[in-house]
Amino acid sequence: MSKLSGKIALVTGGSRGIGEAIVRRLAADGATVFFTFNSSPDKAHAVAAEIGANALQADVANADSVQNLVKTVLEHPANPAKRVDILVNNAGITKDTLVLRMSESDWDSVIDTNLKGAFLMSKALTKPMMSQRAGKIINIGSIVGITGNAGQVNYSASKAGLIGLTKSFAKELASRNILVNCVAPGYIDTDMTAKISDEQKKALQSSIPLGRTAQPTEIASVVAFLASDDASYVTAQTIVVDGGLAS
Ligand code: NDP
């Protein structure tokens, strides 16, 4: 039997990049997967059709959108048990610029998507997971939430916030067997990091002890571990997956 067979997973931002790799991995491990997209329906529906997952539009920064999404997943014909066993808060954006140029809206949109989005999603699923007396919540943070980074005051604050959110949710929900963890990637090859020049990438690679950037599948495998029963005694942790960069 596959590791996640019979489990229902919901992944935010599963249309591209790390989220897409997580969706593919959880489905390959046997889970029934629901995932969200925000602005790229064609890509999302293509992924869903290819692997037999379910793609749904949602804006994680919007409370009504999150409520509708959770209701749809819990009432979906592909989810007759009306449960969610695994929530992966992956959706995230950057609006990088130096602090003197950073606008209030650059700050708000990044905090709303990356941090408030994880709060809204986790809160919406807390009640169902409490009734199930089981659940896994996995937040996708970043090493810059630990190290900080020039030009990313908004983004690194959102990712640092996710670490505190993870620990607090974990402590509050542990008695109901809901395990909450964070995965903090280093530099992963996705659309988000495609803007970096070849020269910058070379310099970055030379500072990574493993000497290379990572593929999204290398984050998905850690998420799959945390989502599985193999991680039944792991909660409130931030697992850094960065090739040794921040150590
Ligand atoms: P991408 O830019 O490749 O993909 C972002 C995903 O988030 C897309 O699926 C997008 O949907 C979705 N999304 C964006 N805004 C919203 C929203 N408001 N509501 C719902 N979904 C939304 O990013 P990555 O795959 O690179 O990053 C995934 C996560 O990993 C993020 O949290 C990021 O911060 C984190 N991370 C990435 C690193 C990297 O090096 N790439 C390093 C460390 C952390 P749509 O396609 O529909 O727009």
24-79 pLDDT, tens digit per residue, is: 999 999 999 999 999 999 999 999 999 999 999 999 999 999 999 999 999 999 99
Q: What is the mean pLDDT of residues 179-206?
A: 94
Taking a C-beta distance cutoff of 8 angstroms, is the pair 5, 83 a contact? no
pLDDT of 196 above 90: no
Q: 195 — phi, psi (to 5°)?
A: -75, -20
Of 16, 47, 121, best ligand 1 pocket probe by most atoms within 8 Å of the beta carbon: 16
- By alpha-carbon position, which residue is closest to atom 33 of ligand 1? 92
Ligand 1: residues with CB < 6 A are 12-13, 15-19, 36-40, 58-61, 90-93, 113, 140, 142, 185, 187-188, 190-193
Residue 47 has what pLDDT? 97
Ligand 1 atom having least distance to the Cα of 18: 25
pLDDT, averaged across the chain: 97
From the list 155, 140, 40, 28, the residue with the least C-alpha distance to 102 is 155
Taking a C-beta distance cutoff of 8 angstroms, is the pair 218, 241 a contact? yes
Among 1-5, 106-110, 225-229, the minimum mean pLDDT is found in 1-5
Q: Which two three-digit tokens encode residue 246? A: 């921040």
From the list 214, 186, 228, the residue with the least C-alpha distance to 28 is 228
Of 42, 90, 159, 196, best ligand 1 pocket probe by most atoms within 8 Å of the beta carbon: 90
Neighbours of 232 (CB within 10 A): 10
- By alpha-carbon position, which residue is closest to atom 18 of ligand 1? 59
Q: Is 118 left (phi over 0), alpha (psi -120 to 50) or beta?
A: alpha
Band of residue 132 on the pLDDT scale cut at 50, 70, 90? very high
The catalytic residue among 119, 155, 169, 187 is 155
Q: Is 233 a catalytic residue?
A: no
Taking a C-beta distance cutoff of 8 angstroms, is the pair 34, 11 a contact? yes
Q: Residue 107: how many CA atoms within 13 Å on its side-chain side?
A: 9
Neighbours of 88 (CB within 10 A): 30
Taking only the tens place, the pLDDT of each residue in 89-98 is 999 999 999 9
pLDDT of 21 above 80: yes
Chain centre to alpha carbon of residue 94: 14
Strand partners, 55: 35
